[in-house]
Structure 1
Amino acid sequence: MKYIVIGLGTFGSSISVKLAEMGNEVIGVDISMSKVDAIKEKITHAISLDATDPEAVKNLPLKDCDVVIVGIGEDKGANIMVAALMKQMKVKRLISRAVDPLQRTVLETMGIEEVIHPEKETADRWAQRLNMEGVVDSFELDSDYSIVETKVPEEYHEKTIKELNIKDNFDILILTTMNVSNFKNELGANKSETSVKGIARADTVLYKDEIMVLYGHNRDIRNLLEEHKNFKERM
């Protein structure tokens, strides 16, 4: 995977290094040359430029990038300007940082659905989530085991956990499932909210619009996610 991280403060630099350690190609961007120098040996490339300048941004390989992360925190105006510019340039996937509820609301109103709250969510958690396709959220227990939220695949729709036999096939436990409800925020932007349904049992029925919470070895979770990706491609 190829990532561009704009803003190399504490959060931006942490997630850049973590993603690079996972084997991804990471380009870090910051207007501060000292921040660029501090990280250049730890990631694929580090570039000093003003990401609020449309002409300067044209020098970035945005079309070849899978994910752009706007990690600017101290300057909320610059954060919103860069996020708007990335949205305008139609990057494949855009994730932006927010430091308060109002900023989050503004970003969501701009159509940015994935917003990071570094004060509540660690860089390690987001790196784990980004590194496995299909993951909604994750919590890394250690370097090998994680708890992961992922959408229920269509081929699991209206089947019980016992029928699917995921424990034997993938050595993974389904801990619970969650409903997803959609609503609009104060400015009319679409938002979603999840609610836990309780401990999953053998007779728990899965539905394609829900989220299932998995526990297992990172390798086994990745295998399960890859299986569903390949299933979709065969259809």
Structure 2
Amino acid sequence: MKYIIIGLGKFGAALAEKLSEMGNEVIGVDLQMSRIDALKDKLTHTINLDATDPDAVENLPLNDADTVIIAIGEDTGANILVAALMKKKKVKHLIDRVVDPLQKTVLEAMGINEVIHPEAEAAERWAKKLNLEGVVDSFELDSNYSIVETEIPEEYHDKTIEELAINEEFDIIILAIMSVEGDTNEMGAEKDRKTVQGVAKADTVLYKDDIMVLYGSNDNIRKLLDEHRKFKERK
């Protein structure tokens, strides 16, 4: 896939690097030369230009890009102006970053409905992680359903998914299992590394302290986690 990311601040730069590491062709665009220099060896190509300038935008290979992502966050005016230019150019797939509700309303009025709000999304994940014991990470599909990573509790150890009958009891699907191994980062500090063991099946055996990826309604996931908590308290 070929991506053009406009705005290489903290969010845009991190997104560009991750997409590049995944084997995609990534072109990074920013007005600040220092940001271009920081990423020139990490991305396919970096371009120093003012994306609010219609003449400058003509130099971008927009027709070749599968997706254009506007990652400008600090200047909502510039963000909206760039979005208008991208709409005028009729790019194949446009995603825009938003930082406040008013900006989102303006973008929706322009016909741009696919937006990223990294601060709100991060806050949502952390709220669930802090509020529900055992949650490692979560992704909200809508206001009612989520995909949640949670630690496999002791009472599930060495049992198969079929034996546990979680789907029948809680109407929750176990999508995958991840093992957790110790690792170190570039600075030598210890961290956990998660490895997906593949799609979970009826005969998949669960082991304590690994992670299971659950899909279901928020209410049912909460009930399941409450059961885990009560089990621990009874011990």
Question: What is the TM-score of this pair, normalised by structure 1?
Answer: 0.56
Find out whether 1:27 has 2:67 as its counterpart: no
SS of structure 1 residue aligned to 2:121 = coil
SS of structure 2 residue aligned to 1:50 = coil
AA aligned opposite 1:33: M
**CA distance, structure 1, for counterparts of residue 43 and residue 8 of structure 2:** 12
**CA distance, structure 2, for counterparts of residue 102 and residue 112 of structure 1:** 13
Identity %: 61
Alpha-carbon deviation of 1:9? 0.6
**Higher Cα Rg: structure 1 or 2?**
2
1:23-50 Cα distance to aligned partner (Å, 9 max, x none): 1110000011111011111111110001
Alpha-carbon deviation of 1:118? 2.2
Matched residue, 1:129: none
Find out whether 1:62 has 2:62 as its counterpart: yes
Q: How many residues in Structure 1 have an aligned counterpart in Structure 2? A: 151
- Mapped contact 2:16–2:26 kept (Cα < 8 A): yes
Matched residue, 1:187: none
**CA distance, structure 1, for counterparts of residue 39 and residue 219 of structure 2:** 43
**CA distance, structure 2, for counterparts of residue 37 and residue 94 of structure 1:** 25
Alpha-carbon deviation of 1:171? 3.0
- Mapped contact 2:175–2:215 kept (Cα < 8 A): no
**CA distance, structure 2, for counterparts of residue 16 and residue 48 of structure 1:** 15
Find out whether 1:94 has 2:94 as its counterpart: yes
Matched residue, 2:48: 48
AA aligned opposite 1:89: K
**CA distance, structure 2, for counterparts of residue 11 and residue 27 of structure 1:** 15
**Structure 2 residue runs without a partner (length 5+):** 126-135, 143-166, 177-197, 202-212, 222-235
Question: What is the TM-score of this pair, normalised by structure 2?
Answer: 0.56
**Structure 1 residue runs without a partner (length 5+):** 126-140, 151-160, 178-195, 200-235
SS of structure 1 residue aligned to 2:120 = coil
Matched residue, 1:9: 9
**CA distance, structure 1, for counterparts of residue 98 and residue 33 of structure 2:** 23
Find out whether 1:80 has 2:80 as its counterpart: yes
Matched residue, 1:176: 216
- Mapped contact 2:174–2:215 kept (Cα < 8 A): no
SS of structure 1 residue aligned to 2:119 = coil
1:131-158 Cα distance to aligned partner (Å, 9 max, x none): xxxxxxxxxx69xxx96959xxxxxxxx
Root-mean-square deviation (CA, aligned residues, Å) is 3.1
**CA distance, structure 1, for counterparts of residue 32 and residue 121 of structure 2:** 25
